[in-house]
Every structure is written in C-alpha cells, then in structure tokens.
Amino acid sequence: MFRTALRNVLAHKARLLMTVLAVMLGVAFVSGTLVFTNTLSGALQKSSAKGFDQVDVAVTAEVQDDVGDRIVKTPELTQALLEQSAKVPGAASAIGVVNGFTAIADKDGKLVGGGFQSQGGNYWGAKDARYPLTTGHAPSGADEVVIDSRTAERAGYKVGDTVRISVDGPVLTPKITGIFTTDDGNVAAGGSLALFDTATAQTLFGKTGTYDEIDVRAAAGTSQSALKSALDSALPKDRVETETGKQLADDQAEMIAASMSGMKQGLLVFAGIALFVGTFIIANTFTMLVAQRTKELALMRAVGASRRQVTRSVLIEAFVVGTVAGVTGLIAGVGIGAGLRSLLGTLGATVPDGPLVVSGGTVAAALVVGVVITMLAAWLPGRRAAKIPPVAAMSSVHATASTKSLVLRNTLGALFSAAGVAVVLAATTMSGSDGQAPMGLGAVLLIIGVFILTPLLSRPLIGAAAPVLRIFGVSGKLARQNSVRNPRRTAATASALMIGLTLITGMTVMAGSLQKSIDKMASSAIRADYVVSMANGNELSADIDEKLKATDGVTATSPMRNAPGRIDGTTEYLTGVTGSTIGALTDLEVEAGSFEVGGGQVVVDDATAESHGWKAGSSFTVNYEDGKKQQLTVSGVYEGNELIEGILLDNAALTPHLAEPADMRVMVKTSGGTSDATKDRLEKALGANPAIKVQSKQDLSDEVAKMFTLMLNMLYGLLAMAVIVAVLGVINTLAMSVFERSQEIGMLRAIGLDRRSVKQMVRLESLVISLFGGVLGIGLGVFFGWAAGELLGTSMPTYELVVPWARMAVFLLLAAGVGILAALWPARRASRLNMLAAIKSE
C-alpha cells in the first residue's frame, strides 16, 4: 500500500508541486517568524546582559505617590548618597549615572537616528569602564563630548570635529574628544549616545548635583546579593531601591521577550491565515486526486483492498507531501528570517548582531504544521476515497461531483451568518473596549457563515455576471456554467481569496477612517500656523516660546506648559497657555460657557469636567507642586482632543509655581501664514536645532498619514502571502476542471471551437471565480471596517467612515489579476489538449 501511495505522489507532479507550494508558504512563514524573533531576542538579550556587566548593584530613587493635597516629588540621589554607597562594606566603587535626551545632528544638520532613541549621559571620571574609548580622551567641561562609534560612523564624525547637539532647546556645539564602543541596547537598536562629563550632564539635564542611578561595583569576594543587603541597610529605605545587576539583566531579558512576543504573535497570526487558506487548497487538491483516481481506487477495492487501506494510502500520500513541504518550508523560513533582519537593517533600523537562531522548537513547529495541516486537509478526501464502491471500476466516466444536497450546509451557513451579523451589529452599539470581544466573535462567526454559504451564493452572484460574459459568446456562456457546476469546489477556491481580501479591505477601511479622524483631531482644533515640539516628544525649554515670540512675523504664540496639580485628592495635569492668545491659536468646540482663560478663569475639556462634576461657573482649588493653593473658576467646557485636553489655565497663574517650566509644544501664528520662508525663519530663530520640529498643520497631517501608510504597507506585505496562496488555489482548481472536462473540451474543439476560444473559456471561468471571491471579500471587509469604526467612534468624536473606493477598485482589479494569472497555465493546457485522445471514450 505504501508503494502505491508513493507512486501516486510522483504520478501527479505538477498538481502536487502546487500543493507542496501552498503548504510550504505557510510553513515558511511560521518558521521564518520564529527564526526572526528568536534571533532578534537572542541578540538583544545578549547585548543587554553585557550592558549590565559593569553593574553589581544599581541604586535608584523610590517613586512615591502623591498624598492629600501635596504633589510629592521623587527623592533625589544626591552626591552624599553616592559617597555613602561607595563606602558601604564590600563596595569597590560607585558611579553616578545621569541620563537625558540628547539629539545629535549629522553634518547636514539632520537628526541622527529616530528621535526616541537619541540618548545622552555622563562619562564618569577619566576612564569610564562602561564606555571603553577607541580613540581620543574623556570629555571635560561644557565644550567637550564623546559619542558612540556607530553614530560616529553613520554621521561621519571624527575626534576633533565640532558637533551640533541639543538637549532641551538651545543648540550646543561641543567638540568631539573621543569615540567609545558600547553594548547599550538602545544604541544596538539604532539609537545614538552622547556623553558629557558628569557636571555638564547634570546641568544640561537639569539635575544639578543629583543622579538618576548609582551603580555600585562589588569588591573582590563580595557577591552581588551581599552587596545589595549591605546597601539596603546603609541607605535610607524610604528613598532608594536597590537591585542586583543580575536581577536587572533578567528583568530586561524578560521585558525584551515580552516585547518580542507581541510582534511574534502578530506575525504568527498572518502565518496562520496563510496556512488556513492553504488548507482549502490542500483539501481541494486531494479531492481532485481522489476523483481522478476513482477507477484506480475502485479497482483496488475490487481486488480486495479494505476501506481503511484506501484511506491510509491517501493519508500516506498527504504525509509525504506534508513532510516535503515542511522541510522545504523550514529552509525557506530560515531564509525569510535572515532576510527580514537585513530588510530591517536597510530600512534604517539597526538590528543587533548575533547568530541566526534556529531552535529545535522552530524545526518541530515547521514539521508539525506542515504534516498535520496536510494530513488534516487530506482526511476528508481520504474518507471519500474509501467510500468509492468497487463497481465504479467498471463504469467508464470519472466520478461525478458529489450531488449531495446542500440543504444542511445552507441552513448551517445561514445560521452562522445571521448570528455573526447580529453579534457584530450588537457590538457596534456597545462602547469602546466592551464591544471588542463580541465584535471579534461576530466577525469570526460571519466569516465562517459566509464561507459555508459560498456554494449557495455562487449561483446568484456569478449569474449576475452573465450579461457581461455574454459579450464573449459561447466561451463566456460555457465559462459561467462551468464555474457554477461544482459549487463546493468553486466555493473553496473563492474562499481562499475571500479571506485574504476581507482582511485587506477591512484593514484599509479602518486605517483610512482612523487616519482621517486622527488627522482631523490633530489639525482641525488648531488655528495656529505652526506647532513647535521636540523630536522625541520631550519637553521644550521655556525660552523657546520667548525666542519664537521675538521672531519677525510672529503675531501670536502660546506654549502648552504641563504641570501636575492636586485637585480633590487626585493628580491632574494642568496645561499652562498664554490666556490672551490661546483663543486665536485654537479652534475648540465650546460645549458650555465661554472660552475665557486668564487670572483665575480656566477652561476644561468635557472628559475632565465630567469626572469632577464641573459645569461652566464651577470653581475648585488646585494645589501646585510648590505647595501653594489657588481657587480657579471654570469659564467654559470644550471638546478635548488628542492634542489639547484637560485644564487650560493662564501661564501667568501657573508659571510662578513651577521650579523648571517646560513646554510640550508651542503654537505659533504668523502674519504670513504657512510658507517655506516662514518655516525657515522659525527654524533659524531656534538655531536650526536638530531636535526641534516645526510643523504646519499639513506637516502634522502628513505625519499621521505616513504612519498609517507604513502600517498598511506592512500589513499588505504580510497579507500578500494569503493572496499568493489563493493564486495557487485557483490554478489547482482550474487544472482539475480542465482535466475532468478534457472529453468535453475535446468535443468542443472537434465541433469547431478554436484554441483561442477554449483558452478564453478557461480564463473567464478563472476570472469569474476570482471576482466572486473578491466581491465577497471586499463586501465583508467593508462591513467589518464599518463595524469596527462604529465601535471606535464611541471613543473618538471625530471618527467618520471613509471607504476608499479607489482602493476597493484596485483590490477588485487585483482579484481579476489573480484570476487571469492563475488561468495562464490551465488555459494553455486546455487549448493544447489532444483532441483525439479526449473524444475517444475510455
């Protein structure tokens, strides 16, 4: 039996190649994902473990909660604490660490690396063990800096160059005195690191005389935990926390694993989709292999093979196919994993170096997925094969498609679909996060329902295409009839495409709508011409506002100054604005009262007003961070958004209470409106600072759009998998149809249908099936996009449904393209069919 099965595998090479490809793609994706994430997290973990080499125990400040009316400040790690730590028994030395945002500009004045990864710190003493210098010497004084070797290489800096650097606004131009190497995870991931001497770093980061962390090294013979307990007993417990280097490394490793698992799961979902779609194709292929071999199998039954033996022969065949696909998929997957890494590299993200990790788990997963999926998919056809009666060996024609009634199937499908639609609709009426789970459930139910119903839907939907097909004469007519001839097969083929397009369309609709609404949120409430902010979202120094105000052509500015305050026993973030200009710079919807900011008059957004039970005219007491109190009155309630929310009060009232005023952003109105020249002037006024972004409303919109486009493109790339698998499916189905109908095609050729028309007939059939899948998928996708939007809309006032019709048209064309592409080979085969062999009865 095994030999027969093996012979069969080899007998239908082309068809099996397609099946193997379908399984292989899925396996490749799964194993590629595993290899990539394992490699990446392995490399990151290694580099992070190295990063803690120089730390035996880290001392950090204990974060404290605000109490009563008081804002409680985090205690400072003072010089005294540092000295105390160094003197603890068992401590060899102690280093004070200072961190902060430091943007480095390249020679063209552009920011090196992404804004979020631009780090700065202190170089401890004359020789800092954490950062071995490859050239030059340690920085000393405000005019000297050392930078990491990767950044130096990227920007082309050498020792002795002057570099433009910015910490919180003003541009500094220190000289590079040294270049160091580091295992810092952030640098490994593509960030930059600039180090000053400790005093300079403390001044620049606004931490004069204090540290962010004290790293203590143990003396020879003292363990990390012994040092930790020594430190714990020596230092004030209520102010500091201690952790061993090993603990820190473990924590970080865990964090990396956790952050990786999100990405891993995301990628695996797509792999799952590809495999799911692939399952249909495998099932289809085996169904067709069984159908083709009806006579042969019946003969085997007639000469004494048992049902079980027949089923087993089909399953053995599936096993062989699955194993081959699993192995080749794994190899391809390793390639994908390596490829992804270098792709990320070329996209600008620096990926830490490390060996490619192909774990035993990955190998096992690839093989299990390949073999199990294939065998599962082949199981039903295998059972069908076993049911072939021995007498079928005597009959002359191929087994006709199962004509079993579709009643049960349709009823089940209708039930699923109805339940799915009902649950989705019910979910849209729920609010925000409550609706997510029901929405997902409904979506799955509906997709299953529609999938079950596709055979039923195929007739009317394909029937609707009849007028168009009539243009093509006989080929069109035959194509239409052929495509509804075996509804189950058509359905399985179209479903593969449907699922891919449902996801693609749903994502597109959702992303488009979200983009529009976030765009609206970000820009519609702003009347300012420009918004100035820090590249990394950090705070700007307060003198930026002053500088902007003094710039030519600037008519109004207002900073948005954030400061905590205690109100009614909770901490609220207050936003200080320039009361006199804020009205001209924003365009906020006022829901109640009037928009008056000045003196004790404040405006609050709807959410804050609701949580405190305030109305226009209410008043409340705020406790500032310096401990002073003030009575404030709500003059109006406005509709908050992403950019502007919370309590807006006049800076004249707020700033005196702040030790270090800093602004999230500054809004600017100019006499000339937005123009390149104005933007240029503003940037110049700020010293052409690499760390500061000057953005017009259009820039803000573009930024949002860019983010969404990037995200969508990544999704499209991943979903392309499903489409490729769908193409294989259509090819398979057509090849099977052509094979089964070879007698018919031969007859048609004999009575005068020319080759071109035969080709056209197959192509049209393929087109019809693909478009059928496409229309179903796009329809479902739009519905899901709409439903998800309804859900989002409850928490996003500006949400509006955007159906990108042009994109939908592109997707439909894509489906048509799939059809035409898939038909190339089967159509050619059909037209080259040997007429005589075909019409000769068997």
662 strand-pairing partners: 541
Which of 436-444, 480-488, 538-546, 768-776 is the region at the interface with other proteins (rule: CB under 8 A)? 480-488
534 strand-pairing partners: 692
Q: Does 839 bind other proteins (CB under 8 A)?
A: yes
Q: Does 515 bind other proteins (CB under 8 A)?
A: no
- Nearer to other proteins among residue 400 and residue 621 (C-beta): 400
Q: Does 833 bind other proteins (CB under 8 A)?
A: no
Q: In angstroms, what is the minimal distance from the CB of 762 to other proteins?
A: 15
Q: In angstroms, what is the minimal distance from the CB of 839 to other proteins?
A: 6
Q: Does 749 bind other proteins (CB under 8 A)?
A: yes
Which of 481-489, 506-514, 669-677, 719-727 is the region at the interface with other proteins (rule: CB under 8 A)? 481-489
Interface pick for other proteins out of 747, 801, 816, 824 (rule CB under 8 A): 747
Q: In angstroms, what is the minimal distance from the CB of 478 to other proteins?
A: 7
Q: What is the helix, strand, coil percentage profile of the chain, to 5?
A: 60, 15, 25
Q: In angstroms, what is the minimal distance from the CB of 737 to other proteins?
A: 12
- Nearer to other proteins among residue 90 and residue 746 (C-beta): 746
Q: Does 488 bind other proteins (CB under 8 A)?
A: no
Within 48-87, which residues bind other proteins (CB under 8 A)? none
SS (H, E, C) 659-713: CCCEEEEEEEEECCCCCHHHHHHHHHHCCCCCCEEEEEHHHHHHHHHHHHHHHHH
Reduced to 3 states (helix: H, G, I; strand: E, B; else coil), residue 569 is coil
- Nearer to other proteins among residue 642 and residue 744 (C-beta): 744
- Nearer to other proteins among residue 470 and residue 706 (C-beta): 470
Q: Does 485 bind other proteins (CB under 8 A)?
A: yes
Interface pick for other proteins out of 203, 229, 674, 743 (rule CB under 8 A): 743
Q: In angstroms, what is the minimal distance from the CB of 472 to other proteins?
A: 11
Q: In angstroms, what is the minimal distance from the CB of 475 to other proteins?
A: 9
Q: Does 481 bind other proteins (CB under 8 A)?
A: yes
- Nearer to other proteins among residue 368 and residue 839 (C-beta): 839
**Distance between CA 204 and CA 101 in Å, rounded?**
10
**Distance between CA 436 and CA 784 in Å, rounded?**
12
547-553 CB contacts, 8 Å cutoff, 24+ apart? 547/685, 547/686, 548/666, 548/668, 548/682, 548/685, 548/686, 550/685, 551/681, 551/682, 551/685, 552/681, 553/670, 553/671, 553/672, 553/678, 553/681
Q: Does 813 bind other proteins (CB under 8 A)?
A: no
Burial class (CB in 10 A: 0-12, 13-18, 19+), 433: exposed
Within 434-473, which residues bind other proteins (CB under 8 A)? 473
**Distance between CA 681 and CA 676 in Å, rounded?**
9
Contact characters 687-726, other proteins, x per CB under 8 A? ----------------------------------------
Contact characters 370-409, other proteins, x per CB under 8 A? --------------------------x-------------
Q: Does 156 bind other proteins (CB under 8 A)?
A: no
- Nearer to other proteins among residue 607 and residue 750 (C-beta): 750
Q: In angstroms, what is the minimal distance from the CB of 451 to other proteins?
A: 25
Which of 576-584, 663-671, 765-773, 833-841 is the region at the interface with other proteins (rule: CB under 8 A)? 833-841
Burial class (CB in 10 A: 0-12, 13-18, 19+), 468: middle
**Distance between CA 339 and CA 746 in Å, rounded?**
47
Q: In angstroms, what is the minimal distance from the CB of 732 to other proteins?
A: 21
∠ CA 371-279-505, rounded to 5°: 140
* Pair type for strands 210-211 and 77-78: antiparallel
- Nearer to other proteins among residue 401 and residue 720 (C-beta): 401
Q: In angstroms, what is the minimal distance from the CB of 427 to other proteins?
A: 43
Q: Does 837 bind other proteins (CB under 8 A)?
A: no
Sheet with 213-218: list strands edge to edge.
91-97, 213-218, 57-61, 240-244
With a CB cutoff of 8 Å and minimum separation 6, the contacts of 174 are 139, 142, 143, 144, 145, 162, 163, 165, 196
Q: Does 511 bind other proteins (CB under 8 A)?
A: no
Q: In angstroms, what is the minimal distance from the CB of 33 to other proteins?
A: 44
Interface pick for other proteins out of 112, 155, 172, 478 (rule CB under 8 A): 478
**Distance between CA 438 and CA 431 in Å, rounded?**
11
Burial class (CB in 10 A: 0-12, 13-18, 19+), 824: middle
**Distance between CA 498 and CA 454 in Å, rounded?**
10
Q: Does 242 bind other proteins (CB under 8 A)?
A: no
Q: What does the DSSP 8-state code read for residue 72?
A: P
**Distance between CA 766 and CA 497 in Å, rounded?**
12
Q: In angstroms, what is the minimal distance from the CB of 741 to other proteins?
A: 9
- Nearer to other proteins among residue 108 and residue 842 (C-beta): 842
Q: Does 754 bind other proteins (CB under 8 A)?
A: yes
**Distance between CA 379 and CA 374 in Å, rounded?**
9
Q: In angstroms, what is the minimal distance from the CB of 473 to other proteins?
A: 6
- Nearer to other proteins among residue 346 and residue 396 (C-beta): 396
Q: Does 750 bind other proteins (CB under 8 A)?
A: yes
How many residues touch other proteins (CB under 8 A)?
25
Integer angstrom CA distances of residue 702 from 385, 518, 696: 59, 11, 10
Q: Does 836 bind other proteins (CB under 8 A)?
A: yes
DSSP per-residue letters across 387-409? T--GGGGTSSSPPPPP---SHHH
For 677, other C-beta atoms within 10 Å of its C-beta total 10
- Nearer to other proteins among residue 421 and residue 747 (C-beta): 747
Alpha helices for 293-392 (secondary structure H):
294-302, 307-346, 360-386
- Nearer to other proteins among residue 193 and residue 748 (C-beta): 748
Here the tokens at position 519 are 């765009």
With a CB cutoff of 8 Å and minimum separation 6, the contacts of 52 are 245, 246, 248, 249, 252
Reduced to 3 states (helix: H, G, I; strand: E, B; else coil), residue 10 is helix
Interface pick for other proteins out of 154, 175, 239, 477 (rule CB under 8 A): 477
Q: Does 752 bind other proteins (CB under 8 A)?
A: yes
Q: Does 482 bind other proteins (CB under 8 A)?
A: yes
* Pair type for strands 99-101 and 144-148: unpaired
- Nearer to other proteins among residue 468 and residue 592 (C-beta): 468
Which of 65-73, 356-364, 636-644, 743-751 is the region at the interface with other proteins (rule: CB under 8 A)? 743-751
**Contact call for residues 167 and 101 (beta carbons, < 8 A):** yes
- Nearer to other proteins among residue 146 and residue 753 (C-beta): 753
- Nearer to other proteins among residue 542 and residue 753 (C-beta): 753
Q: How far is CA 331 from the centre of its chain?
A: 26
- Nearer to other proteins among residue 801 and residue 835 (C-beta): 835
- Nearer to other proteins among residue 394 and residue 750 (C-beta): 750
Q: In angstroms, what is the minimal distance from the CB of 736 to other proteins?
A: 16
SS (H, E, C) 819-834: HHHHHHHHHHHHHCCC
**Distance between CA 252 and CA 257 in Å, rounded?**
8
- Nearer to other proteins among residue 258 and residue 836 (C-beta): 836
Binding site for other proteins (CB under 8 A): 396, 473-474, 477-478, 481-482, 485, 743-744, 746-755, 757, 835-836, 839, 841
